[in-house]
Amino acid sequence: MKQTDIVICGGGMVGLTLGLAAAQGGLGVAVVDTLSPEKALDAGFDGRVSALAYSSVRMLTALGVWPHMAGQAQPITEILVTDGKPDAPASPFSLHFDSAEVGAPSLGHIVENRHIRAALYAAIPANLSYIAPAGVTALEQAPGHVIVHLSTGEKIRSALAVAADGRDSKLRGQQGIGVVGWSYPQTGIVATVAHERPHNGVAYEHFLPSGPFAILPMTQNRSSLVWTEARSKAPAMMALGEDEFNAEVARRFGSHLGATKVVGGRWSYPLSFHLARDFVRPRFALAGDCAHGIHPIAGQGLNLGLKDAAALVETLLDAARLGRDIGALDTLKRYERWRRFDSLAMAASTDALNRLFSNDIAPLRHLRDLGLGIVDSIGPARRFFMRHAGGDIGKLPKLLKGEAA
């Protein structure tokens, strides 16, 4: 039977980053994914981009992954937050974040998910065995180790199994870990738009009655839309012909970048919230969307998962240096204490933001507009939110500071 230190079940953006970090720290790692890299990199598979916080960029740089995607990354220089309705001018109260105010060249970067995945694959080192396409079907606890069963019939013996198998994780349930969660009555529609005028690196978060409409600047003068629509209306929008879909986009997008045209496909994602009741069991840990699924309103889901990866690797390497068992529950509990509260705080604040902004109730609208105006007029509050969005809050794992774990 094959033997390694860690098996990571799920080689998505979080699982693979975790694998790279653990392997660079000297641990033997196997990452298993049901999808082949060819499928995961297919342009039709995932049309999303990710807003990578600057702490995440520091981590990807420290791991040697960033150079593989830097050419495809669009810096975000400013973020403008407004409240409004389709076809109507935005409220005069807005919130404006400018990277110059915090003395940084950018507030983060926008990168297409397929380019992030390609960069991660390109950085795979020799001591990481990437097994795909293959699914993890079961985990078998044994004294001092865990046996990971794969759909190929192969078994791997290791000190620790990590589930990074996404929102609908089967392994989480198999190991008896429940979740607290609910569905939002919203769908995230994603598309790429080419526009006449340059975006100059400005990202827009326009709050509409059905939810946030985010316009994220991409390379080649394109922008990515994350259009939160009522779940009941989303299928009709997705089924529109090209001209009608372009017209609906334009109603929400506004005319600040001139004429717009959707390029490429459309994707839709049901939106939901969940938080795992526990992040660890003996010889088992959760990371990324498997541990927490949050609303995309603040573009923080992947950033949160990368923080899990950085904290887990640091915990494991510290234990290994002291000659301790990396799969022991007391080792893993340190990771859980580190990440649980931060995940809960981010999940709760994105949930509250979505509830506050995704409606057209007049008193609430006035209150939140006033809130935007107040935060905008207070420099330290603005700078606090910028640091928060940049992931520079709380006890940062070394990798997020750009240091080796």
Ligand X SMILES: Cc1cc2nc3c(=O)[nH]c(=O)nc-3n(C[C@H](O)[C@H](O)[C@H](O)COP(=O)(O)OP(=O)(O)OC[C@H]3O[C@@H](n4cnc5c(N)ncnc54)[C@H](O)[C@@H]3O)c2cc1C
**Contact letters (x/-) for ligand X, 122-141, by CB under 6 A?**
-------------xx-----
386 contacts 97 by C-beta, under 8 angstroms: yes
Cβ nearer to ligand X, comparing 245 with 269: 269
In angstroms, give the least distance from the CB of 378 to ligand X. 26
Instruction: Tell which one of 11, 211, 254, 327 touches ligand X (CB under 6 A).
Output: 11
User: Of 205, 262, 269, 267, whose CA–CA distance to 231 is shortest?
Assistant: 269
Of residues 277-336, which lie at the interface with ligand X (CB under 6 A)? 288-289, 296, 299-303, 305
Residues binding ligand X: number (CB under 6 A): 33
Enumerate residues 6+ apart whose C-beta is below 8 A from 52: 60, 73, 108, 109, 110, 111, 116, 302, 303
Distance CA 115, CA 295 (A): 22
Question: Does 81 help bind ligand X (rule: CB under 6 A)?
Answer: no
Give Cβ neighbours of residue 273 (< 8 Å, ≥ 6 apart). 181, 182, 183, 184, 293, 294, 295, 347, 351
> Are the beta carbons of 78 and 98 closer than 8 angstroms?
yes
Residue whose CB is less far from ligand X, 124 or 320: 124
Q: Which CB, 318 or 349, lies closer to ligand X?
A: 349
**Residue found by looking up tokens 């589930």 in the block:** 163
Tokens of 224: 């990515």
Residue that is written with structure tokens 């927490």 in the block: 292
Block residue for tokens 């001092």: 144
CB of residue 347 vs ligand X: minimum separation in angstroms? 11
> Between 48 and 114, whose beta carbon lies closer to ligand X?
48
212 sits near ligand X (criterion: CB under 6 A): no
Q: What is the CA radius of gyration of the chain?
A: 21
15 sits near ligand X (criterion: CB under 6 A): yes
Nearer to ligand X, 28 or 166 (CB): 166
Quote the tokens at residue 320. 């290994």
Minimum distance between the CB of residue 300 and ligand X, rounded to whole angstroms? 5
Tokens of residue 351, six digits = 């949930």
Site for ligand X in 164-183 (CB under 6 A): 164-166, 170
Q: Which two tokens stand for residue 194?
A: 């080419």
d(CA 125, CA 352): 41
The count of other CB atoms within 10 Å of the CB of residue 41 is 16
User: Per-residue contact track with ligand X, 43 to 72, x per CB under 6 A?
Assistant: -----x-xx---------------------
Q: Give the residue among 113, 31, 130, 20 at the shortest CA–CA distance from 69.
A: 113
Residue 58 CB, shortest distance to ligand X, in Å, is 15
Q: How far is the CB of 254 from ligand X (least distance, A)?
A: 20
Q: Where does this chain touch ligand X (CB under 6 A) — which range of 3-11, 258-266, 336-344, 348-356?
A: 3-11
Closer residue to ligand X (CB): 14 or 405: 14
Residue 10 as a binder of ligand X (CB under 6 A): the answer is: yes
| Closer by beta carbon to ligand X, 292 or else 365 | 292
User: Which is nearer to ligand X, 188 or 254 (by Cβ)?
Assistant: 188
User: How open is the CA angle 28-32-36, to the nearest 5 degrees?
Assistant: 130
Which residues are near ligand X by CB under 6 A?
Answer: 9-15, 32-35, 48, 50-51, 135-136, 164-166, 170, 188, 190, 226, 269, 288-289, 296, 299-303, 305
